[in-house]
A = this chain, B = another copy of it.
Amino acid sequence: MDFTARLDAAWRRSNSLVCVGLDPDPARFPATLHGRPNAIEEFCRNIIDATGDAVCAFKPQIAYFAAHGAESTLERVCEHIRSNHPHVVLLLDAKRGDIGDTAEMYAREAFDRYGADAVTVNPWLGSDALEPFFARRDRATFVLCRTSNAGSNEVQSLQVSNDGSGSTSAPLYELIARRAANEWSKRATVGLVVGATQPAELRRVRDIVGEMPLLVPGVGAQGGDPATVVRNGATSAGFGLIVNSSRAILYASDGDDYATASRSATLALRDALNAAR
Contact = CB atoms under 8 A, between A and B. Distances in A.
Interface of A: 23, 61, 63-64, 66-67, 69, 71-72, 75, 95-103, 105-106, 108-109, 112-113, 122-129, 144, 147-156, 158-163, 169, 172, 175, 179
Contact of A172 (B75, B105, B129, B155): B155
Contact of A97 (B100, B108, B122, B158): B122
Contact of A66 (B106, B123, B144): B106
A105 to B, nearest CB: 4
Contact of A148 (B99, B122, B149, B151): B99
Given A95-B96, A126-B155, 16 more contacts: A23-B102, A64-B102, A66-B109, A67-B108, A67-B112, A69-B72, A69-B113, A99-B147, A99-B149, A122-B122, A124-B144, A124-B156, A125-B144, A125-B156, A158-B162, A159-B162
- Looking at chain A's contact residues, is the secondary structure mostly helix, strand, loop, or mixed? helix
B151 A126 contact: yes
17 contacts: A23-B101, A23-B102, A61-B98, A63-B96, A64-B105, A66-B113, A67-B105, A67-B112, A95-B122, A99-B149, A124-B144, A125-B151, A125-B152, A129-B149, A154-B179, A160-B172, A172-B172
Contacts of A172: 155, 158, 160, 172
